[in-house]
A and B are shown apart, each in its own frame.
Chain A
Amino acid sequence: MFKKITFILLILASGGLLLWLVNTNIPSSGELVVEMKLGKDQTMITQLGPAVRVKLNADYQTVLESPVYFDLRSMPWFTKAQVRLVYQEAGLELTGLGGQTGPGWGYDPQKPLVISDLAESEEGFQEAVFTFDLTKIYQQKNVRRFLIATDPTGGGGELRIKSLKIILSR
C-alpha cells in the first residue's frame, strides 16, 4: 500500500514536472519574457560585459565605455525578439543595439524603433524598443551575442541602464 502511494505520488510529480517544463518553454501565449538581473549571470541571459566597461550601482548599471555585450540563450522555436531597454544618457548617447552577424567581431547595431519617456517616478529614464529577427543573428548552439553601442556626447560620461527585458516570440 505504502509502496503504491509513493509510486503514484512520484508519477504525478514527474508528470507535473515535465508538463511544467513544456508549458514554460512553449508558452500558450507564444511569448516568453526574459529579464536581465543587472550584475548577475542567468542561464538565459548573461550580465553586461566586459566587467571593466560597466559599473553596478544601487538600482542601475552604468556603461562607462562602448561597446558592451550580453548573451541570450533561447529555444530554437523563438524566432523574434523585442528588446526593451530602460536607460538614461549621462554623457554617453545610446546609438544602437545589435546582434552578432557572423563568427568573429561583426555586429549590426540598429537604432531603436521607439523611444519613450517613462513616468515621473523614473524621471530622466527613457525606454527604447528594438526588434530582431533571431534567425538572422549568428548563434553558437543556441546562444546569441548582442552589442550595445554608445557614443560620447561631450567630454565623456556614462549611460545608465535600469532594466533590459527581452520578449521572445514565435
Chain B
Amino acid sequence: MKFKLFKREDSHFREIAEIIFHFSLIIFLILLLIEYLVPGFATNWFNPIWFLIVAILSGIITTINN
C-alpha cells in the first residue's frame, strides 16, 4: 500500500516537473526572442536565465523519474 502511494506521488511530481519544463523553456525562448529584437525589454527588469535554469532542473527531474 505504502509503495503504491509513493508511486502515485512520484508520478504527480514527474508530471508537474514536465509541465514546468515546457513552460519555463517556452517563456525563456519567447523572452530571448524579444530581447534579441528589443535589447533590455526583459533584462532591464530581471534575468531571464532563471527560466532556463528552472527548465534544466525540471528536465533533469523528469528524466530521473522516467
Q: Which residues of A contact B (CB under 8 A)?
A: 2-3, 6-7, 10, 14, 17-18, 21, 24-25, 43-44, 73-76, 141-142
Q: Which of A7, A14, A18, A43 contacts B44 (CB 8 A)?
A: A43
Interface residues of B in 9-52 (CB under 8 A from A): 12, 15-16, 19-20, 23, 27, 30, 38-45
Nearest residue in B to A5 (C-beta to C-beta)? Answer: B16
The answer to whether B19 touches A141, judged by C-beta atoms less than 8 angstroms apart, is no
Chain B residues within an 8 Å CB radius of A14: 23, 27
The answer to whether A141 touches B42, judged by C-beta atoms less than 8 angstroms apart, is no
Nearest residue in A to B41 (C-beta to C-beta)? Answer: A25
Nearest CB of A to B9, in Å: 11
Max chain B Cβ within 10 angstroms of own Cβ: one of A10, A24, A76, A141? A10
The answer to whether A75 touches B19, judged by C-beta atoms less than 8 angstroms apart, is no
The answer to whether B38 touches A76, judged by C-beta atoms less than 8 angstroms apart, is yes
